[in-house]
Every structure is written in C-alpha cells, then in structure tokens.
Amino acid sequence: MRKYEYITVLGYNTIQLPFSKLKQYGPIISVSSHKEEMQHLDYVWTRQEKDLLWYLQQKPSPVDCVTTPELYKKYVFYDEVHSFPPISPQFNLTLDINTDDQTLALLSAIGLCDKRVLLVGYDISDLRILKDLRSVIMLHPDMKFYFLCNPPKTKQLDYCSNAECILFKDMEKLKND
Amino acid sequence: MTDRPDRINYIVKILWPPHCRNRNQKVLEERADIVKEMNGMRSKLENFLKASCSGSYKVSNEYDMQGFNIGLEMGPDVYNLVLEQATIGYEVSREIGRYNIFSDKYIKHKILYTAKGIVID
C-alpha cells in the first residue's frame, strides 16, 4: 500500500469542526471513542474487543481497525483488522500495556504516512501522554506534526522543531503547505 | 514475501499429496502419473475456489517441492479454504501470509486449530 502524504490523528477531545471538513486534510485515524462519527473515520485504534466488533459490524462498510497482537491473532481472517506495526525499542519512548491509546493511534498513523501528521482533539493534559508525544515527534525528524487547538496556543511543543501549534481558525493554510 | 499483487491479502500454500512431495525434476520427468496427479489437484482447487470464493483469488503458476501458493483477497474465503480441506481432499500448509498495511509485506503466521476456531500463533 502506498503511504499517505497526510494523515489526521483524532484524540479523545471533542472538536467543533465537522468531521467532513476534517476529511479534506487526509485520512483520519482515531481512538475508539468517536463512534457517532464513524462514517468519516478511515482507521480506528482500539484494544477493546467489544469496540473492535462494533466497528467491524458497521454497515455499509466496516472501519479498518488497528489493534493489539492478541486481538489480531483472534481476528486475523477479518480483512479490516490490522496488527500494530512492529516497533523496536526506542530512546525515551517506552511502550507497554499502560501506553495511552492516543500514542498508539499516533504511532499507527506514522506507519501509514510519510510526510505530515495533524493532531486534532489530542489530549495532552496527562504528563505521560505529553512526554510520549514529544518523544514520538523527536524520533521522526523527517515528518512534520501540526497540533491543532483553540486559543491560546500551547507552548508544550515549542522546542520540537518539526512540530507546530495551529489554531483551528488558521488551519486552512495547511491546505497550501 | 513482498510485492503485493492487487487485492491479494492472504497467501496460503496448498501441499501436494504426500507421495508427490519432494520429487526432483528427473523423477517428475519419469513419472507422468505423479505430474498428472499434481496438475489434477491444482485444477480441482481452482474449481473449488471458483465455486466458493466471494472475493478475488489467484492460483500461482509456480510449483515447489512442497506445493503451490494461492493468493486470496478475503479472510472468510481463507477460513473456508482451511476448513474444507478434509472434505475436498487437500492439505493446507500450517503457515499463511497476511498482508500488513504498515510494512507493505506479507507477514507469515502459523495457523492454530483451536476449539473456538482457527487463529494464528
């Protein structure tokens, strides 16, 4: 499969922007909590079997799910179930059972994309999530990360040269990038 | 396994009947009956896939000493192929390849037959 140039990672937070508009910026990979907008999602990261089954049962077309190796083994004959990409241990990024779903959705997105990642509704209030986000950004210097939010702009990613905070009202300019 | 042909998500190897396996080219040249049996098995499989598959499939023209590969688009067709081996009379290799969207490669997995169904190791 050819990699996408752009991809959007949808975190836990609800957003006011219509998903149909968000789709204009590339495929969307989401955590599993945005079920009501499932028709706009291209991929979902989930580690819960009941969520996996819910997304697989949607008509007319189920959503592609990225999941844990354990669930993948069980649902390998479902075409829409994909295993998490193999990740070698990397500096300053510890992946374990407590790793947040947003981080895993982001890593999945990086496996599918090679140029630009939009982080939308991405909750960084938890310090571990923020630390993991910074680590992921720094481990991929050849990619550009845009953190979308409402005012005021966060300064948490200021020292990551390949990350930028963009306000939702200014996101149109990303179309020209 | 790399270079994914269009819409082929799974690769399954069908094993030759036991007495046809591990035969070198010289033996095959001398034993037309074995070659006939191998070709017959391949045709039988092709007919079965034509009748039962809901997605696309491709039977490889390449033979090796153990069997031949079949590429399938849809998981339920693979499941059916594995399930029906005793009924139709063929043997599926314990190893299957599943296309991985992240690595763009077919990843090999070992099939496990469990009380709850067919899974991978």
**Three-class SS string for A125-156?**
CCHHHHHHHHHHHHHCCCCEEEEEECCCCCCC
Lookup: tokens for B30: 């001398």
Identify the pLDDT of residue A89. 62
Considering only alpha carbons, which residue of chain A is nearest residue B2?
A: A1
Contact (Cβ atoms closer than 8 angstroms) between residue B109 and residue B118: no
ipTM over 0.90: no
Q: Mean pLDDT, chain B, as a whole number? A: 91
Lookup: tokens for A171: 């996101």
Give the sign of the dihedral formed by CA B5, CA B6, CA B9, CA B12. negative
Nearest to B75 among A1, A78, A86 (CB): A78
Entry pTM: 0.88
Identify the pLDDT of residue B66. 94
Residues A97-120: what's their mean pLDDT? 92
Q: How far apart are CA A3 and CA B104, in angstroms?
A: 9
Cα of A22 to nearest chain B Cα, Å: 23
Considering only alpha carbons, which residue of chain B is nearest residue A114?
A: B102
Lookup: tokens for A58: 């949607």
Identify the pLDDT of residue A92. 67
- Asked if the model's pLDDT at residue B1 lies above 50, the reply is no
At A97, the pLDDT band (50, 70, 90 cuts) reads confident
Q: How far apart are CA A149 and CA A73, in angstroms?
A: 37
Identify the pLDDT of residue A51. 94
SS3 assignment, position A122 = coil
